[in-house]
Structure 1
Amino acid sequence: MSNEEQKFSDEFINAFVDDQLTPEEKAQVYARLSSNEALSRQICELRKTRDLVQLAFKEPPMPTRGMATLSAGRKIGLGVAAGLMLIIGGITGWFLHQPSGNQIASVAQLAPGEDVPAKVLFHVSDGHADHLKNVLDDVEELMQHYRLSHQSARVEVITNGEGLSLLLAGISPYAERIQKMQKEYHDLTFVACQNTIDRYQQELGFTAKLLPGVVVIDSGVAQIMRRQHQGWAYIQG
């Protein structure tokens, strides 16, 4: 059976979503995701369903001011994209949910040596204003730690799904703060997902205008996978 014809069983896919596979088995799935849209959609929907069940036990968030304006009574169809972002949790690397102060401190100690910069990736897919503020607080705390300890570091904040609102000109509630952070920390980069930008255009007819200095990459998922394979610490912001 060829690689294209090979199919994974439902039990195998469910085990992948629940992070119960061996590294070798996970690698088989990751190798297929980029070229198999049906498989990506299946995993996305399974992960989304699981996350919705978990969220059912939490208080639903209030809509973000900017994104509510964009929606104009029409729900943004980015939930699937946000769900897909979560499947990379099983890739080799660090996967920290809702980072606390202690978790940020732990990541700050990951640098392998004085001459090798620490490399940390923050992933933002939630557009709630309070959540975005917490992410920026965590990023700034980490950057200050590295500066005070005279340690070099590279930090990327990757946004996709509703998290893109953090970097949208005229919509982001923290545009001024982001611009100050960009000037203050030269090794800090804010990144936007082109797939999400395209989806905004297709589903809302909205042309995304980004804040100055924001870097655009092809896919948030692909960038996260690349960074984790390069040894970057990963924080789900």
Structure 2
Amino acid sequence: MKSPFANSDIHAYLDGELSALETQLFEKELAQNPELAEELNQLRANKQKIVNFYRQITPPTPKFIENKRPIMQGQKTSLVASLLLGVIIGLGGFMFIEQLNSNSNIEQIAQVPSHNFVVHLDSKDPVKMQKTLLETQYLLSSHPAAEVEIVANYHGIQLFDARSESSEDIQKMLAQYNNLRLVACQNALERAKTEGREIQLMQGVKSDTAAIDEVVDKMKQGWAYIKI
């Protein structure tokens, strides 16, 4: 049974951000829609997976890009809350790169020591897709010894569609850099197919793992994380 609720609504429900009326409508649909219930349970399981992983480590003082304001305790709590909802903003014990805001400049990344990078995209917003490619290009050119991986989930997997406007640019980057890897979330691909918007993956894209598993694995290995 196709749900009238979008994935963002499910996240909002888990985060307690729906209004009282919206919550009632969601729970009514939940009671009669096993597919929606299954998706909700999967998101909860992913959240718990991150919780369990986070509890295993003792967070040191995070290292931030120069000129960034230190994060206060309340802000740390908010970041962890976002992390647990599947949008991984950072994990203590690993290098954390804040999402560049409107006052930031991409050259700030150059201040980070040579490192491996995982770039995470979960949106089909053309601006964010373009930013993903620009930042990836900059990382590859400024850190030639580093491995760079773009991980896309939710609607972000459209970046890797062979029919997308960015397809040719991505193929050129793959041909130019042998240290670039592309990963499309297996769960997001299956969901897109179920919803009738199947993605025609371009060559060179790995698609046999969930995005959350891929990102956690890379961060456990010490990779820097960049959320677009």
TM range (shorter): 0.5 to 0.7
Pair 1:128 & 2:129 matched: no
Pair 1:160 & 2:153 matched: yes
Cα distance in 1 between the residues matched to 2:208 and 2:200: 15
From 191, 216, 222, give the equivalent of 1:225: 216
Conserved in 1, the CA contact under 8 Å of 2:124 and 2:159?
Answer: yes
Conserved in 2, the CA contact under 8 Å of 1:190 and 1:214?
Answer: yes
**Which residue of structure 1 aligns with residue 205 of structure 2?**
214
Aligned structure 1 segments of 4 or more residues deviating by more than 4 angstroms = none
Pair 1:89 & 2:94 matched: no
Conserved in 2, the CA contact under 8 Å of 1:129 and 1:173?
Answer: no
Cα distance in 1 between the residues matched to 2:154 and 2:98: 19
Conserved in 2, the CA contact under 8 Å of 1:168 and 1:210?
Answer: yes
TM-score of the superposition, structure 2-length normalised? 0.59
- Give the deviation of 1:84 after TM superposition: 3.7
Pair 1:103 & 2:108 matched: yes
Deviation string, structure 1 residues 75-107 (Cα, Å, up to 9, x no partner): xxxxxxx99431463453214213741432133
Relative distance call for 1:174 and 1:83 in structure 2 (3 A) is farther
TM-score of the superposition, structure 1-length normalised? 0.57
Relative distance call for 1:184 and 1:91 in structure 2 (3 A) is same
2:87 partner letter: L
- Give the deviation of 1:127 after TM superposition: 1.1
Cα distance in 1 between the residues matched to 2:127 and 2:183: 20
Q: Secondary structure at the match of 1:153?
A: coil
Q: Secondary structure at the match of 1:127?
A: coil
| Structure 1: segments with no counterpart, 5+ residues | 1-12, 15-35, 44-81, 112-117
Percent pairwise identity? 28
Q: Secondary structure at the match of 1:89?
A: coil
Report the number of matched residues: 152
- Give the deviation of 1:119 after TM superposition: 1.0
Greater RCO (CA < 8 Å, at least 6 residues apart): 1
Q: CA RMSD in A?
A: 2.7
Cα distance in 2 between the residues matched to 1:160 and 1:178: 17
